[in-house]
Structure 1
Amino acid sequence: MFAPQVASQPPSSRDSPRLCPQLTRSELEGRQLLGSEPPVFTPSLHRSLRKDHEEAGAGAAARQAAIFFRPRTSILDYTELMCQGSDHMRGLVTCFWTVVGAYLVSLLFAHYERSGEIMSRGLAGVIFSRAADLMISDLALVASTAAVVPMVHLLWVGGAWRLPALLDPRHQGRGRLVQAAFEVAWLAAWYVWLGTRGWPWAQRCFFSLHTVVNWMKVHSYLSSNRRLACALRDVAYLRAQRKRQSDSADSADSAANDAETDAEIDALDAMLCPYTTRFPANLTLANYAMFQLSPALVYELEYPRTERIRWSYMAEKLVGTAGIFVVFYVVVAHLVIPHLERMPETGVFVATLHLMGPMATCWLLFFFITFDSIANGFAELTRFADRRFYDDWWNARGLDEFSRKWNRPVHMFLARHIYMPVRESWHPGHPRKHPRVDDAHAPRQSSATVLSRLRQGVPPAIAAMAATFFFSSIMHEVTVVMACQRWNHAPLFFFQMMQIPLIICSEKLPWLKEQQALRNWAFWLAMVTFQPFLLCLYTYQAFANSSSSQSLDVIVAGGAVNAMVAANATKVS
C-alpha cells in the first residue's frame, strides 16, 4: 500500500527519515518494463499525474484527487528541529517546554504545601476505572470497521464475491444511499453501545472521539473506492465504445476518435494505478489495516513512505506522550476541576474567568499530545512520510483559517468528501446521472425545488463552505452530547455556524481584510475566552446536580444526627 518517496529538500541529519531516490514517470515506466524492483512514489510523479488530470479535464474526480501527500516533517517536531539545525522555531519550542516544566513543579509544590501529598489522586480513579472494558470496546470498534473491505467487493467491484447485479457504483443516488445506510447504522450502533456502558466522563470523551475518527476512515475508504470502481467501469465502457467505433467508422474518423478515447482511458488508468498498486488489488485486509494505523483520514491507494522505522524516535514520542499526559493531568486535576465544582456557587462568568489560563494550557497540551506525539508516533510506526498534521495555526487571522491549519487530517477529509463534492454539484446545470450509465437505468430528473432555486442564487464556493461548516458543527455537537450524555441546547453548534457570516464580512470589508494583526488578536481573544465559556455551559448542569445531591446528603445526615441527639436527650430525661 505504501511506497517509499523522496523529500524535495532531504533532511541534513543522519537520524532524520531517509527517503528513496527520486524518479520521473518515464523512469518508473521503464523500470516496470524491465521487471525491476517496484517503482517508488516521487514528487515528480505527483506533479506529472496532477498535470495529466488537469489536462484530461476529468471533472469532479480530478478535483477530488487534487489532495496530495508528500514527504514533510511537522513544524514543531523537536527531534526534526534539532536534527535539521532549524533556528526558526527550535528556541521557541525549547522555551515552551521549559516554562511548562517550571509551571508543573510550581503546581505540585503548592499542592504539597496545602495537602501534604504531591499529586491529587481523585482524577486518576476516574480515568483508570473500567480500563479493561474500555480497551476491549475500543478494539472491537476498530475491528468492526474492517467490514468495509468485503462491502466494496460485494457492492461495486465484483469478482469471486460478486452478488448478482446488485449495484452499479455509477448510479450516484443508489450507491450513496447504500453507503450512507451502512455508515449511519454503524455509527448509531456504537453510540448506543457507548450510552449503555455507564462509563465515567473521561472514558466517554475518549470513546466518542475515537468513534468519529473511525467513522471518517470508513467513509473515506468507501467513497474513494466507489469512485475508483466508477473509473474501472468507465475504462471498460470506453474500450468497448472504441471497439464499436473502429468497426463502424472509416479510418480517418476512427483514428481521431481512438486518439481521444485513448487519452481519456490513460487519465482514468492513472487514477486506477497512480503509482504501484492497481485498483482493485488494494482491496485487502492488510491494505486496510495499514490505512487504519496510519495518521490519515483520507484514503489513497498509496502514500509516501520512509525507508525505515527509527525506534529511538518511537521511544522519544512514547516518553513524550507520557510526560505531556502527566502535565495535562496535573492542570485538569488541580486547576480545572476545582473551579468547575465551585461553579454552581460562583456562577458561569466567574468560573470562565478562572479557567481562561488553565483551559488555554490544556488546549496547547492537547495539541502537542495529539499532533506531535501520537500522530508522529503512528506515522513513524507505519513509515508514513507526510508529517504535515498542522500548519502555523498560531498565525491564524480568523476561525476559518484556524480550522484549516489546526487539524489538517480533518481539514483534508472535509475538503475531499464535503467541500469539493458540494462545490462541483452546486452548479445549476450539473448532471444528475453519470454520463456512462445507460438511460434505461438512470435516475429520474427531479423538478424545480427549493434546492434548485438556491443553486441559482448562491455561489458554489459559499454553498460548499456553508455545507462544510454545517457538517462539522453537527459532528462536533453530536460528539460533545455523547461525551456529556446530555443535550445543552447546542451552543457549540451555534457558535460554529456563526463563523460563516463573520468569514463573509471579513472578506467583503476591505478595511477589516487588511487588518492582519487585529484579526490575529481577535482570534486569540476568542480562543482564550470561548473555550472555558463553552466548557462551563456544557458542564454546569452536571456539577449543579452533583452539588445538589451532596447538599441533600448533608441535610439528611444532619437530620439523622439531630434525631439521635433528641432521642438520647429523651432517654436521659
Structure 2
Amino acid sequence: MNSATATSIETSNGSASVSRRSGHDVTQNEPNNRTNGNGNGTATTKTPKKPGQKYRHVAAVHKQTRPSCLSHDSDAAPSFIGFRNLMVIVLDIYLGLLLYFLIPCHLLAAYLIELAAAQQARGSLKRVNDSPSGGPSEQERKRFHKTWVVVAWAHLFNITLALVLTTWVVYFKIHHPLIGTVTEMHAIVVWLKTASYAFTNRDLRHAYLHPVEGERELVPELYTQCPYPQNITFSNLVYFWWAPTLVYQPVYPRTDKIRWVFVAKRVGEIFGLSVFMWVASAQYAAPVLRNSLDKIASLDLMSILERLLKLSTISLVIWLAGFFALFQSFLNVLAEVLRFGDRSFYDDWWNSESLGAYWRTWNKPVYTYFKRHLYMPMIGRGWSPQAASFVVFLVSAILHEILVGVPTHNIIGVAFLGMFLQLPLIALTKPLENMKLGHTGKIVALMYFYAWQAKYGSVSKQMTTVSS
C-alpha cells in the first residue's frame, strides 16, 4: 500500500524520477553527473503542492461512526415535516376534488327546478289556449309571477348553498392557496352560470306563455333550433357547465369537427407557460417579496417603492403569460373539444384608449355576462348608467375579494378596493375615449423610435453605408 509509482519525465537538464506518496510529488536527481543547476550534485526536494481537484477521489467520506437517522440509538430525532406537508397537500387535493364533484349535484338541482317550472308552463299554456280570449288572464299572469318567485328563490338557495359550502371548506380546511383558488373559482363560475341559466329560462318561459304579446319575436332566431321547453335537458345543462362562456343559451354556434392537432398545440402552450410562470415566480418574484417583508414591517417607504418597482416588471410578465395561457390556450382547448364556435374571449385590449375600454375588451366572458344580466336589465328598469355601473363593479369587487381572500385566508379588502376604485379611474379616462384620438400615440412612439434608429441604430449604419 505504501509503494510508489515512478514516472519518467523528460526535462531540459536530464531525466528525473517522480515518486508519488500520499498525494505529494518528490523529485530526485538520478545518480549521474548532472546537477540541478547549482553544481553541487545534491538531491533537491520540492515543496509539497496542495492537492487539486483531480485528487477529489481520495476524500474521506466515512470519518466516524454514525447511526442511521431512524435508528433508536440516533442522538437527534428526525424531522417529518416533509411528510406532513405532503399529507396536507394530498388532503387539499382530496377536498378540492370532492367539492368539484359535488357541483353536478347542484346542477342536477337546478335542472330539476327548471324541469318543474317547464311542466307548470306547459299546463299554463294549455289553459291559455283553451280560454275564450286566447290570451293569458290576470289570474294566469299572477300565477306566472308566483311561479317565477318560487323558482328564483329555489335557484338562489341552491347556488348560494354551493358557493357558501365551497367557501367555508376552502377557508377553513384547504391550506394550499393554488388548490383553494382553483376550487373557489370553479364555485364562483358555476354560481354565475346557474344564475344565467335561471334568468334566461325565465324570459324564454315568459315568451312561451305570452305569444300574443309579441314576446316570441324577441327570442333570437338561433334559439328556434332548440325552443323552450325542449332545451330543459340535463345534457344541455352539462354542456353549458363545460362551455367556455358564462352566458346561457339553448343553442350555441358550433364547429364541424374537432382539430386534435390544434388541441395538442394549445395544451403544449398551457404546459410551457405554466412552467415559465412557476420558474419566474420562484426565481424572481418570491425573493423580492421575501426581501420586502422587513421593509414593509418598518414602513420604509422608499425601500417599499423600490421593491415595488422591481416587482412590477416580473409581475407584468407573469400576468401576460397567465392571460395568454387562460384566455388564448385553455379556453380555446375547451372550445375546440366542445366544438364551441364563438372564440371571441378577448379583443385588442392593448390598444385601449381608456380604462373603460380596457375592462370591456380584456375579459369578454365576464363583461358580456354582467352587461346581459345586470347592467342592461337595470337600464331597462330606469336606472342611470352610472348607478348600473356602480352595482356592476360592486358585485365584481365582492367576487374578487372572495376569489383572492378566501384561498389565502386573508379577507382584508385589498382586492375589493382595487376593483371598486376602478370606477373613478374610468371616469377620469373617459374623456380620452370620447376624444377619438385613435392610435396616434403609437404612431408618435414609432416616429421617435425611427428617429433614434436613424441617429444611433441599424438605420443609421445603413444610411452611412449608402452615402459612402
TM-score higher than 0.5 here? yes
Assess if the C-alpha contact under 8 Å between 1:306 and 1:383 holds in 2.
yes
Match of 1:136 among 98, 101, 108: 98
Match of 2:329 among 365, 373, 386: 373
Q: How does 1:140-289 map to 2 (within 5 A)?
A: 140-155=102-117, 157-158=119-120, 168-171=143-146, 176-235=152-211, 238=212, 264=214, 266-267=216-217, 270-271=219-220, 274-289=223-238
> 1:425/1:322 Cα in 2 relative to 1: closer, same or farther (>3 Å)?
same
Unaligned runs of at least 5 residues, structure 2: 1-81, 125-139, 297-303, 443-468
Q: What SS is found at the alignment partner of 1:275?
A: helix
The match for 2:411 among 487, 503, 507 is 487
- 1:354-393 residue pairs with structure 2 within 5 A? 354-393=310-349
Q: Which residue of 2 aligns with 1:526?
A: none
**2:375 maps to what in 1?**
419
CA distance in 2, matches of 1:411, 1:510: 21
Match of 2:68 in 1: none
Superposed, 1:89-104 pairs within 5 Å as none
* Distance change (3 Å), C-alpha of 1:306 and 1:208: same
Q: Aligned AA for 1:138?
A: Y
CA drift at 1:176: 4.0
Q: Kindly provide the CA deviation profile for residues 431-474 of structure 1, in whole angstroms up to 9, marking residues without a partner as x.
A: xxxxxxxxxxxxxxxxxxxxxxxxxxxxx222222221111111
- SS of the aligned residue for 1:158 comes to helix
What are the residue-to-residue correspondences of 1:270-419 with 2, within 5 Å?
A: 270-271=219-220, 274-347=223-296, 348-419=304-375
Q: 1:132 to 1:176 in 2, by over 3 A?
A: closer
User: Quick one: structure 1 residues 184 and 136, their matched pair in 2 at CA, closer, same or farther if it must change by over 3 Å?
Assistant: closer
Shift of 1:482: 0.9
Describe the superposition over 1:501-522 as per-residue Cα deviations: whole angstroms up to 9, x where unpaired.
3333434x579846667999xx
- Residues in 2 aligned to 1:161 and 1:340: alpha-carbon distance in whole angstroms: 63
What residue number does 1:464 align with?
388
Render the CA deviation track for 1:310-350: whole Å, top value 9, x for unaligned. Answer: 11111111122111111111111111122222222233434
Query: Structure 1's 132 and 424: CA in aligned 2 closer, same or farther, altered over 3 A?
Result: same
Is this contact kept in 1: 2:360–2:367, CA < 8 A?
Answer: yes
In structure 2, relative to structure 1, the CA distance for the partners of 1:271 and 1:193 (3 Å cut) is same
TM-score by length of 1: 0.53
Q: Kindly state the Cα deviation for residue 360 of structure 1 after the two structures are TM-superposed.
A: 0.4
In the alignment, the residues of structure 2 paired with residue 375 and residue 169 of structure 1 have an alpha-carbon distance, to the nearest angstrom, of 38
1:185–1:138 CA distance, 2 compared to 1 (3 A): closer
**Which of 1 and 2 has greater Rg?**
2
Q: What's the offset of the Cα at 1:157?
A: 4.4
Structure 1 residue matching 2:347: 3-state secondary structure: coil
Q: Residue in 2 aligned with 1:474?
A: 398
2 CA distance for matches of 1:205 and 1:365? 18
3-state SS in 2 of match to 1:321: helix
Q: CA deviation at 1:288?
A: 0.9
Q: Write the deviation string for residues 160-190 of structure 1: whole angstroms up to 9, x where unpaired.
A: 999xx9x955356665444333332321122
Q: Give 1:286 deviation, angstroms.
A: 0.8
Q: How many angstroms does 1:377 deviate by?
A: 0.3
- After superposition, give the CA deviation of every residue in 1:488-536 in whole Å (9 maximum; x if it has no partner): 2x233223323223333434x579846667999xxxxxxxxxxxxxxxx
Paired amino acid for 1:492? A
* Contact 1:170–1:230 (CA under 8 A) maintained in structure 2: no
Q: Deviations over 1:279-313 (max 9, x none)?
A: 11111111111111110110001000000111111
CA distance in 2, matches of 1:226, 1:381: 29
Spell out the pairing of 1:53-68 with structure 2 (5 A cutoff): none
User: CA contact under 8 A between 1:272 and 1:278: conserved in structure 2?
Assistant: no
**Structure 1 residue 379 displacement after superposition:** 0.3
Per the alignment, residue 421 of structure 2 pairs with: 498
Encode CA deviations 1:191-242: one digit per residue, 9 max, x unaligned.
112223232111112112222111111111111111111222223xx3xxxx
Aligned residue pairs total: 335
Question: Displacement of 1:266 after TM fit?
Answer: 4.9
SS state of the match for residue 170, structure 1?
A: helix
Instruction: Give the conservation status (yes or no) of the 8 Å contact 2:390–2:423.
Output: yes
Which residue identity does 1:495 align to in structure 2? G
RMSD of Structure 2 on Structure 1 (CA):
3.2
Task: After TM superposition, give the deviation of residue 156 of structure 1 in Å.
Answer: 5.5
Amino acid at match of 1:494: L
How far apart are the structure 2 equivalents of 1:184 and 1:295?
Answer: 22
Equivalent pair of 2:200/2:248 in contact (CA under 8 Å): yes
SS in structure 2 at match of 1:274: helix
- Where relative contact order (Cα < 8 A, 6+ residues apart) is larger, the structure is 1
Q: CA deviation at 1:410?
A: 0.8
What is the CA distance between 1:390 and its match in structure 2? 0.3
Taking a change above 3 Å as real, the CA distance of residues 512 and 311 of structure 1, as seen in their structure-2 partners, is closer
**TM-score under structure 2 normalisation?**
0.64
User: CA-to-partner distance for each residue in 1:400-457, whole Å, 9 max, x for gaps?
Assistant: 2111111111111111111111111125xxxxxxxxxxxxxxxxxxxxxxxxxxxxxx
- CA deviation digits over 1:359-410, x for unaligned, max 9? 1011011111111111000100000011110000111223321111111111
Alpha carbons of structure 1 residues 126 and 360: separation in structure 2 relative to 1, 3 Å: farther
Q: AA paired with 1:491?
A: V
- From the two aligned structures, give the one with the greater helix fraction: 1
Q: Cα deviation per residue 1:68-117 (whole Å; 9 max; x = unaligned)?
A: xxxxxxxxxxxxxxxxxxxxxxxxxxxxxxxxxxxxxxxxxxxxxxxxxx
Q: How many Å separate the matches in 2 of 1:219 and 1:510?
A: 35
- Do 2:121 and 2:205's aligned partners in 1 also have CA atoms closer than 8 Å? no
Please say which of residues 298-307 and 221-230 is displaced more in the overlay.
Answer: 221-230
Note if contact 2:166-2:183 (Cα within 8 Å) is conserved in structure 1. no
Q: Please tell me whether the aligned partners of residues 258 and 339 of structure 2 are also in contact (alpha carbons under 8 angstroms).
A: yes
User: 1:324 touches 1:365 (CA, 8 Å); kept in 2?
Assistant: yes
SS at 2:145 equivalent: coil
> Amino acid of the residue matched to residue 253 of structure 2?
P
CA distance in 2, matches of 1:134, 1:289: 20
1:551 matched to which residue of 2? none
Going from structure 1 to structure 2, the CA distance change for 1:182 and 1:135 (only over 3 Å counts) comes to closer
Once the two structures are superposed, residues 523-554 of structure 1 have per-residue CA deviations (whole angstroms, 9 ceiling, x without a partner) of xxxxxxxxxxxxxxxxxxxxxxxxxxxxxxxx
